[in-house]
Structure 1
Amino acid sequence: MANNNEVSKKRPPSNKLQYIKKNAFAIFMVIAVGILLVSPDAKSFVLRQLIRTGIFNASIDKKDTDTARMTNTDFTFTDAKGSIQNTSSLRGKVVFINFWASWCPPCQAEFPSIETLYNQFKNNPDIFFLTINEDNDPALGKAYLEKEKLSIPMYKSSGNVPAEMFSGSLPTTVVLDKNGKVRLHHTGFANYASDKFVKQIKELINEQ
Structure 2
Amino acid sequence: MRRALVAVVVLFVVLAAGIATVWLGSRWIISVVTQKAGPAPVRRVGQAVPPFELADLQGRTWRLTDLKGKTAFVNVWATWCAPCRKELPHLQRLYERVKDRPDVVLLTMNVDEKVSEVQPFVAKNAYTFPVIPAHEYVRKTLTTTGIPRNWVIDAGGVWRFDEVGYRDGEDDWVANAERMIEEARTPQGAPTRPDQRTGT
Q: Do Structure 1 and Structure 2 share a fold, with TM-score over 0.5?
A: yes
> 2-side partners of 1:94 and 1:165: how far apart?
21
Residue 73 (structure 1) aligns with: 50
> 2-side partners of 1:163 and 1:110: how far apart?
24
Change (3 A) 1:196 1:85: closer
**Counterpart check, 1:115 vs 2:95:** no
Determine which structure has more spread, i.e. the larger CA radius of gyration. 1
**Counterpart check, 1:94 vs 2:71:** yes
> 1-side partners of 2:47 and 2:139: how far apart?
10
Per-residue deviation, 1:164: 4.8
Q: Is the 8 A contact 1:177 1:204 kept in 2?
A: yes
- Structure 2: gaps spanning 5 or more residues: 1-36, 189-200
The AA in structure 2 aligned to 1:202 is: E
* Greater mean alpha carbon deviation, residues 106-115 or residues 184-193: 184-193
The AA in structure 2 aligned to 1:183 is: R
Residue 201 (structure 1) aligns with: 181
Matches within 5 A, 1:183-198: 183-189=160-166, 191=170, 193-198=173-178
The AA in structure 1 aligned to 2:132 is: Y
> 1-side partners of 2:161 and 2:176: how far apart?
14
SS of the residue 2:173 aligns to: coil
SS of the residue 2:155 aligns to: coil
Per-residue deviation, 1:81: 3.7
Change (3 A) 1:118 1:97: same
Residue 14 (structure 2) aligns with: none
Matches within 5 A, 1:165-184: 165=142, 167-184=144-161
Q: Is the 8 A contact 2:73 2:181 kept in 1?
A: no
The AA in structure 1 aligned to 2:73 is: F
Per-residue deviation, 1:153: 1.9
> 2-side partners of 1:162 and 1:70: how far apart?
17
The AA in structure 1 aligned to 2:178 is: V
SS of the residue 1:173 aligns to: strand
Q: Is the 8 A contact 2:71 2:104 kept in 1?
A: yes
TM-score calculated relative to the size of structure 1 = 0.59
> 2-side partners of 1:75 and 1:128: how far apart?
16
TM-score calculated relative to the size of structure 2 = 0.61
> 1-side partners of 2:56 and 2:141: how far apart?
22
> 1-side partners of 2:185 and 2:48: how far apart?
20
Residue 150 (structure 1) aligns with: 127
SS of the residue 1:92 aligns to: coil
Matches within 5 A, 1:16-165: 66-157=43-134, 160-161=137-138, 163-165=140-142
Per-residue deviation, 1:205: 4.2
Per-residue deviation, 1:207: 5.8
The AA in structure 1 aligned to 2:164 is: T
The AA in structure 2 aligned to 1:197 is: A
Per-residue deviation, 1:136: 2.0
> 1-side partners of 2:175 and 2:49: how far apart?
30
Q: Give the % identical residues.
A: 25
SS of the residue 2:80 aligns to: coil
The AA in structure 2 aligned to 1:139 is: S
